[in-house]
Structure 1
Amino acid sequence: MQLCHTEDKTMAGSADEKRQTLLQRTRVAEQAERYEDMVKCVKELVEMGGKLSDDERNLLSVAYKNVAGSRRSAWRVVTALDQKKAEQGVDESDSGRQAVKWLREKVVTDLKEFCGDVLTLIDKFVLPTAENQEAEAEVFYNKMKGDYYRYLTEISEGDEREDMVTKAKESYEKAYAKATTELAPPHPIRLGLALNWSVFHYEIRNDGKEACRVANDAFNSAISEVDHLKEESYKDSTLIMQQLRDNHTLWMSEQEDQGKN
């Protein structure tokens, strides 16, 4: 009987040591801006199961966001190149244009697989540990789902795009419902959600009016309470508030210009 207790302790100790090793490797990879390595380490850490700490949760977000960002940038570049060649009248049989299309298809495939990977990770491992327990974590993960479905929307077409739009909208709405009832208006996670939710309305749904409303409401709700935040949250919240205000100003200006035209 004593042997079983010893084995259990050894196994627990080994798991804790592995988790700490992966955590340290994730942090070092972040410092070196080796985001692909960061993703591998944090993914393995998440797949060990259990609730993520705030630090682990943020590392998960940073790792995947940076890799997704570079791949989305590559998609925008090759899409612009293909469009430019089309406008110049370059035939699709041209070797240069074929090379662009080849790379574009590869980038789209890689980005779809990458987004699918993080969405599976959220649904299978992290969201179940947060639902009906912690509002902050639940909002965070549903916002992440909305973001990655939004990324998939950008590179999808037809029925597939409509499906991604619906899933992004559902994820954002679920996060928004929880955030607006359980998180304070100046909470950085609630503000970050409002920022991305407004961008979704503007860029994906082409609804500038709703985008402006979401951004403006979030800013106005937070402004009277932001001074009560702790120092570490204050900086994050005020930065997001500035982004909300900048976007609102830009979008209002664009709508006014469209109205004049």
Structure 2
Amino acid sequence: MSPAATSTVSPRNEAFFIAKVAEEAERWDDAIASMKTVVSASRAHLSAEERNLVSVAYKNKTGTLRNSWRILDTLERRETAARPGTRGAALIRQARTRVERDLARACQDVLALISVQLLPAASPGEERVFYHKMQGDYYRYLYEIAAARERERYAQLSLEAYKTAYKHALGTLEAWHPTRLGLALNFAVYFRDVCASPVRACHLAKHAFDEALAALVRLPDDASRDSVMILQLLRDDLILWSSEISQADASGNGEAAA
């Protein structure tokens, strides 16, 4: 990657170049800071490549924190069960709380960026679906770590964002479109993880999968790779969730799963 001559590079292009360098170096905070400059310089009218880099930067930042939180949560539960009342569990809880705070701050940061700047400037179609999907994702991440008194609120906010995105996607995007398929995948995960309903997750995922397959004859070459990858993920999740439903039915808990 080589920048153009400094005298001909606009502040927006320079910030985007720095963000791409930060992406290659996996410096996600730096990438986010530079992309905020791009958002301001463009008045929040981002290209598809710029939108994707915003998404990638926040996804990687929060992904690392979510993984750390899960590990610490598991360790805390294990320590509490094995040695209740000992200092070890309290120390792990402190570490988990610090990660929780960092993750919540990162989620609130991207949600503010979307609601205050990106969505108000978004064009109908893919762009609007893209940002509402991101809202659904990050409210879902907040749900995962929230205290019991806040979980219902984040679950509802996530559901509203996904429903808005899906309704808009059905009216504006082809069934094979990667953004529509990615939304269907994450919305199905919401039903599985937040609602504990593999039945509803399977219903949504199968509908999206079948519609996309029926429309594959119209799939352009530049979308095929991403679309096929997401279809494979949908298929894998359908297999997993169908197995969960069968196991629940066999144990007599089918209604609970639904």
TM-score where L is the length of structure 2: 0.91
- Report the Cα offset of residue 155 of structure 1: 0.3
Q: Match for 2:23 among 14, 26, 30?
A: 30
Distance in 2, Cα, partners of 1:235 & 1:45: 28
One-letter identity of the residue aligned with 1:192: G
SS of alignment partner, residue 10 of structure 2: helix
Q: Match for 1:196 among 177, 186, 198?
A: 186
- Report the Cα offset of residue 112 of structure 1: 0.8
8 A contact 1:227–1:234 mirrored in 2: no
Which residue of structure 2 lines up, in the alignment, with residue 71 of structure 1?
65
CA RMSD of aligned residues (A): 1.7
SS of alignment partner, residue 206 of structure 1: coil
Matched, 1:47 2:4: no
Q: Which portions of structure 1, spanning 4 or more consecutive aligned residues, are displaced by more than 4 angstroms?
A: none
Q: Deviations over 1:139-179 (max 9, x none)?
A: 00000000000000000122311000000000000000000
Distance in 1, Cα, partners of 2:134 & 2:250: 37
One-letter identity of the residue aligned with 2:18: R
Which residue of structure 2 lines up, in the alignment, with residue 95 of structure 1?
87
Q: Deviations over 1:177-234 (max 9, x none)?
A: 0001111000000000000000000011111111000000000000022242222210
1:1-261 residue pairs with structure 2 within 5 A?
17-48=10-41, 49-91=43-85, 94-130=86-122, 133-261=123-251
Q: How many residues align?
A: 245
TM-score where L is the length of structure 1: 0.90
- Report the Cα offset of residue 95 of structure 1: 3.0
Distance in 1, Cα, partners of 2:219 & 2:240: 28
Q: Deviations over 1:60-84 (max 9, x none)?
A: 0000000010000010011001000
After the TM superposition, which of the residue ranges 30-39 and 42-51 deviates more from structure 2? 42-51
Distance in 2, Cα, partners of 1:120 & 1:47: 14
- Report the Cα offset of residue 33 of structure 1: 1.8
After the TM superposition, which of the residue ranges 22-31 and 193-202 deviates more from structure 2? 22-31
One-letter identity of the residue aligned with 2:244: E
SS of alignment partner, residue 47 of structure 1: helix
SS of alignment partner, residue 175 of structure 2: coil
- Report the Cα offset of residue 36 of structure 1: 2.2
Distance in 2, Cα, partners of 1:180 & 1:255: 27
8 A contact 1:122–1:141 mirrored in 2: yes
- Report the Cα offset of residue 244 of structure 1: 0.5
- Report the Cα offset of residue 47 of structure 1: 3.2
Structure 1 pair 29–250 and aligned structure 2 pair: CA distance change class (3 A): same
Distance in 2, Cα, partners of 1:180 & 1:228: 16
- Report the Cα offset of residue 43 of structure 1: 2.1
Distance in 2, Cα, partners of 1:26 & 1:234: 27
8 A contact 1:226–1:237 mirrored in 2: no
Distance in 1, Cα, partners of 2:21 & 2:144: 32
One-letter identity of the residue aligned with 2:72: V
One-letter identity of the residue aligned with 2:36: K
Q: Percent identity?
A: 39
After the TM superposition, which of the residue ranges 46-55 and 236-245 deviates more from structure 2? 46-55
- Report the Cα offset of residue 90 of structure 1: 3.0
Distance in 1, Cα, partners of 2:153 & 2:197: 18
